[in-house]
A and B are shown apart, each in its own frame.
Chain A
């Protein structure tokens, strides 16, 4: 490309002007380099977000008419039992999946970090397999395992002399089923995050603790957890954001009932309700209002969890 700078030598310009040009270029260059992200973020991140706020003030048919209704969608939302049900389901599934998942990941990371572990790389890589498996495939397999009459879990329960459980039909059953799918997918991912951080912890710390007579459990409690504090805070926040936006699992777990995840909406999450309203019934305005409510919740809970998680292990005995 022929730029003025390249063509300049034969036609010297006044020195000062060139210097100013040079300075401006150096000043702007970094912004140009980082701009691709921000341009894309503006188009695909910020604009849809702001547009969602805008649409939520309308009765908005995507292929028909738009009527401004002010905050009517939000006041309707406040009295909508389906929305509150979806919120309850979302929190229940989030707690049921996140807590065991992160605890399990911590334990696994501690084990995988053990100095005398054989085939360490094999084990470390294999925890990531569920993560790289397609969510749809995982969900379909799990849904079959939890089937009322022909599922493997109920077959096992029957062997042990218990009655069959209709997981998908009941509130807790369906929540446990979906939480299991989420935990299955994300435990390995979080394990690797913890492991990577653990490897950065100086081995001397563990050796010193061992020399002081600390058991494995004590080492875990007093060395592993405090040194992982920043990454624990990170995983808690990402799990919160992810957990409050769970969509594919409830969508596919109970496909018979369409977008409600069960006849009584027993496992319909907020995002699935948003999708049902917007794309199932074309109430874009109302769906957008659900989205705004979800946005506020995610921001609030991520903040609270961040504050809580940064305190983990900070009080030394």
Chain B
């Protein structure tokens, strides 16, 4: 009998081990912390800079996957697993976590109150709760601009110089007209697609998106409708290559020069370099039609159950200082959230040979200055996806443009389960 009990005990122990309920092993070491980031944004470079300056600190960096996958892994961890000490959260995923701020350390307890003035206030507002808790420190913003092919513009008889091209399209209507000219001259499509390159830019240029300033859901408003309509107008003008952003066709067409223009937030530049290395030097950057706007950006946060919140905070306060973000921009290219460095010669003078030495620092920072901040709510992600998907269906000929707005509203209504 005893043997049976022993066997059962062994099996039970093994099962517990398999189930991962091993309990917390090892004592926490104040010089070590765990950091979860997304892949492909090279946080390792930052970590290396930090550990070089602090050889006694050990950072365990895990690149979880895409931004969405990182948010999913964080959700699972917060719901009842081992949490990291430091985690990177993309701006579109942040509102979901802001719904339950108790899962995170209130960074004002570590001194975030003293440094919050360093950051763009409308970005800081996204990670601050109503009662003043700070959940995340912004690492970068996604300023807007247009990448265009100088060789293809030249062939179409259009100007190629960045400043002149910027003057061609102060508004989206001008942008559409330039597109029509291009199509007439070359017989080829102008812009990669309209849902991402027009709607997702234009909808981020307003003073209100899917929520009112008082945090009430309000996606059926004049500004969203205007962005939607200008997208339909661009589609009707016949200037779209109908290549969905990030698809394999989009990448292939980029390599072959089958479209001349991509509206490219600052974080997209590195993807273009990776996707189409053979187009090196053929691109240039012009300002975005329609004025200031922002799409994307990320935040660093510390989960409540983190073992070593202090070490994580030391990392944040050093690497995300204005000088830290400036150094990251010069090395990696993602746009600082600290306006004090926007006039720094290093930033203003930053050019990129892939984009014909365009002054990317200057162009992108200008696009986030004078922004009209709007409230980010928990349903922003799904709502944006439904609008984008409906406009994609229009491009694919599956939805009649005349019914598109109503179709979109019906889809959004389903998505928000209202």
Contacts and interface: CB of A to CB of B under 8 A. Distances in A.
A147 B3 contact: no
Interface in A60-84: 61-65, 76, 80-82
Interface stretch (B48-56, B160-168, B391-399): B391-399
Interface in B236-264: 243-250, 252-253, 258
B390 A150 contact: no
B4 interface: yes
A264 B399 contact: yes
A166 to B, nearest CB: 6
B248 A29 contact: no
A137 to B, nearest CB: 14
A3 interface: yes
Interface string B84-110: 000000000000110110010000000
B78 interface: yes
Given A64-B100, A264-B389, A143 B248 contact: yes
A32 interface: yes
Contacts of B397: 169
A43 B15 contact: yes
Nearest to B80: A62
B72 A43 contact: no
A231 B9 CA distance: 39
Given A80-B414, A264-B389, A256 B75 contact: no
A311 interface: no
Contacts of B346: none
A1 B245 CA distance: 64
Contact of A256 (B246, B253, B381, B415): B246
Interface in B6-30: 6-8, 11-12, 14-15, 18-19
B99 A61 contact: yes
Contacts of A35: 8, 11
A150 B399 contact: no
A283 B96 CA distance: 11
A169 B398 contact: yes
B343 interface: no
Contacts of A1: 3, 6
- The B interface is mostly helix, strand or loop, or mixed, namely helix
A63 B97 contact: yes
Contact of A29 (B2, B4, B96, B382): B4
Interface residues of B, number: 50
B385 interface: yes
B402 interface: no
A24 interface: yes
B253 A263 contact: no
Contacts of B331: none
A201 interface: no
B75 A63 contact: yes
A62 B76 contact: yes
Contact of B396 (A28, A65, A169): A169
A144 interface: yes
Contacts of B246: 255-256
B258 to A, nearest CB: 8
A280 interface: yes
A136 to B, nearest CB: 13
A280 B2 contact: no
B252 to A, nearest CB: 4
A65 B79 CA distance: 11
Interface string A257-285: 11010011110000000000001111100
A150 B6 CA distance: 63
A120 B293 CA distance: 65
A144 B248 contact: yes
Contacts of B72: 279
Contacts of B12: 39
B398 to A, nearest CB: 5
Given A61-B100, A63-B78, A63-B97, A25 B11 contact: no
A166 B393 CA distance: 12
Contacts of A25: 1, 3-4
Nearest to A27: B4
Contact of B393 (A61, A143, A263): A263
Interface in A10-33: 21, 24-25, 28-29, 32
Interface of B: 1-4, 6-8, 11-12, 14-15, 18-19, 68, 72, 75-76, 78-79, 96-97, 99-100, 103, 243-250, 252-253, 258, 381-382, 385, 388-390, 392-393, 396-399, 414-415, 417
The 5 residue pairs across chains A and B that have the minimum distance between CB atoms: A263-B392, A169-B396, A263-B389, A64-B100, A62-B79
9 contacts: A39-B11, A62-B75, A62-B78, A64-B99, A64-B100, A256-B246, A264-B389, A264-B399, A283-B417
Given A36-B15, A82-B414, A263-B396, 19 more contacts: A1-B3, A28-B1, A32-B4, A32-B7, A40-B15, A43-B18, A61-B99, A63-B79, A149-B249, A170-B398, A257-B244, A257-B392, A264-B389, A264-B396, A264-B398, A279-B72, A279-B75, A282-B75, A283-B417
